[in-house]
Amino acid sequence: MNQPVDDSDDTREHFVRAARTSQEAISSAIQIWGETTQSMFGLTSAPGAAAPALEHLLERWFDAAEDMLRAQREFSEGLLGLGKPAMQAVARAAQPTSEASN
């Protein structure tokens, strides 16, 4: 007699592996983010080294904010540049419609 195949163990193992992989990826991302942030703000130091001065941290913080704002502006200007021809085409297409309704 044929016995029904029990896929529940395979399915459970698949979800356990997926959860483990996701957990490892998130843990790795958090670790990399922390190391990057510490490096960016000069918070990493050798054992026994003096902690960075508050002035240094403040300067690094605003430098990072300035860089981020500059990148956002460049990105936005790029999108505007890409979208301008499309907006002009829409305006041209709408012109005959608005003239016909007058």
**3-59 pLDDT per residue, tens:** 555 567 788 888 888 888 888 888 888 888 877 777 776 666 666 666 667 888 788
* pTM summary value: 0.41
Q: What is the pLDDT of residues 46-100, one digit of tens each?
A: 666 666 678 887 888 888 889 989 999 999 888 888 778 877 888 888 887 666 6
Q: Vertex 64, ends 62 and 69: CA angle to 5°? A: 90
Residue 47 and residue 24 in contact, taking contact as beta carbons nearer than 8 Å: no
Residue 73, token pair as written in the block: 């502006």
The Cα–Cα gap between 48 and 56 comes to: 18
Taken in order 27, 71, 54, 52, the sign of the CA dihedral is positive
Assess contact for 38 and 57: CB atoms under 8 A: no
Longest Cα–Cα distance in the chain: 82
Domain residue ranges of the chain, discontinuous segments joined by +: 1-40, 48-102
